[in-house]
Structure 1
Amino acid sequence: MIALAGFGGEAQAQCPELARLRGEAVEATKPMNRGLMPNRCDAYIRASLAWSSLRSYAQDHQETCGISSRSLGDIEKSQRDAVMARNNVCAGRPVRPFPADIVLQ
Structure 2
Amino acid sequence: MDDQTRIEIEAAAFRRLRKHLMEERPDVQNIDLMTLGGFCRNCLSRWYMEAANEKGIEMGKDEAREIYYGMPFSEWKAKHQTEAGPDKQAAFETAFKENVTDKE
Shorter-normalised TM range? 0.3 to 0.5
The TM-score normalised by the length of structure 1 is 0.37
